[in-house]
Amino acid sequence: MKKILFVATFYLFCIATLTGQNTFSLQVGTAVSEEIQEQFKSNGRLFLFVSSSQSREPRWSTWPNSSNKIFALNVSDWNKKEAFVIDGNTKLTKSVEANLDALPEGKYTVQVLWDQDINESGINAPGNLYSKAISLELNKSTTLQIPLEQLVQPTQFIENEILKLVDIKSDVVSKFWNKEMRIKAAVILPSGYYKNPDKKYPIRYNIAGYGGRYTRAARLTREGSNFHKWWMTDEAPQIINVFLDGEGPFGDCYQLDSDNSGPYGTALIEEVIPYIEKKYRAIGIPESRFLDGCSTGGWVSLALQIFYPDFFNGCFSYSPDQVDFENCQLINIYKDENAFINEFGYLRPIVRNVDGEPRVSQKDFIQFENVLGTSDTYLNSGGQFSAFTALFSPKGENGLPKPMFDPISGVIDREVAKHWEKYDLKLYVENNWETLGPKLQGKLWIWGADMDNFYLNPALRAFDEMLKNMDNPKSDAKISFSAMAGHCSEYDQIEVLKMISNKIKKK
């Protein structure tokens, strides 16, 4: 049987636009290579990537920028022996305004991905199918033949003497989802772990930036890496390192209980941590547990310390996600009417350079997430606002979180915004200071960048001001800001471990 090829027919026509830019129409047909038809599932979401960047495979370029154009639609009962055709008349969710029948002339890299995996939130999850990335100069009628012929493989995690895998079934999360749900983590053991078989160790729980996986620990322990060379010296502290996994049903699970993702906080405190600390000879008391992370990890480490103040003995939080929802990046969710348009009628930016130049608007950022979600909205995109909404919002319809703002218009739902309040860290600490304040003494170290690329500094400034005004007790939180610095620019794994070690020695 001949290999079934992906056929992309580009029939181009020149249109004189107001700027003189030539535009062309694109028609795409895709079919599944014979070699992987047994792995093919007939229901999924089909993605077409058209990128003007030549730096990497377009399927990895889901971050909003002018170089990447993503088109997607859900397909049911696709016959694997037949091609599926997309053209300018196909109803598509798009990451940009451009249509397939009016793409600007230029050089592109084109790729197709079939998202059929239902276990992980990302489109590049194991089990999905994708084509090779094909270079194209879009200036004439062109026919491409590209099969969907490759299968995304699971990431290999190879244990060694100090690097260990944790992979356990979570009873509480499995019960919530009514199916087996597993939670993973990676452990890096102290260099002297095997030389001291009776010794017990303090433990550091690291949370990654958005969507970071447990597999990041393997990079640190790679022979010749700066971290590994330092870790195996006498200078490095004898501390167990645990790298938590960010994967969750709607994107990053944020290691907390939510109405939508389930009881990930309960699973961490009652299942994952007890398992790890027993298996790897941790001291196993609150005074010996520490948290750290940057960006999402900065927020999660701070939130865990705040919501479980008696369970941990300190967090080292860098560039945390918005800790105050009056400054939810540049949105005041309690007062603003629209997430996309500010009070002056301008598109609200969400990403900037450190010199202040806006790069991405909130509206465009959300549209990129809309195209990634099988709901055609950010609510299950697996992206940043998918995870925010899953954590902060109540349950909505069709098994999805209820949106705090409309995916298309940006209009804010005041009732849902009210529900977000319980995860507003500034508000929570302020309202519970009488009982919470004493438990947080000596446990908060936070770093922020005054030119944070995601406009997170106003929220942290407000959080800092709130703590400075607290009495009984006076807060001793250490919050510092770096002028003209960008997101996470101060974060360093080795420096964090040194600070944890110093705190342990001062006990």
pLDDT digits (tens, 9 = 90+) for 275-322: 999 999 999 999 999 999 999 999 999 999 999 999 999 999 999 999
Q: What is the mean pLDDT of residues 4-27?
A: 45
Task: Please report, as a single letter, which amino acid is at residue 205.
Answer: Y
**pTM of the complete model:** 0.93
Q: What is the mean pLDDT of residues 5-27?
A: 46
**In the chain, what are the domains?**
7-151 (no CATH), 163-324+424-505 (3.40.50.1820), 326-423 (no CATH)
Q: Is-contact 324 430, C-beta < 8 A?
A: no
**Residue given tokens 């750290």 in the structure block:** 292
Q: Is-contact 500 494, C-beta < 8 A?
A: no
Q: What is the mean pLDDT of residues 259-270?
A: 98
CA separation for the pair 447, 328 (Å, rounded): 18
CA separation for the pair 106, 129 (Å, rounded): 27
pLDDT digits (tens, 9 = 90+) for 142-182: 666 778 999 999 989 999 999 999 999 999 999 999 999 99
Q: Is the peptide bond before 202 cis (omega within 30 degrees of 0)?
A: no
CA separation, residue 276 to residues 59, 204, 244, 282, 333 (Å): 35, 11, 11, 8, 38
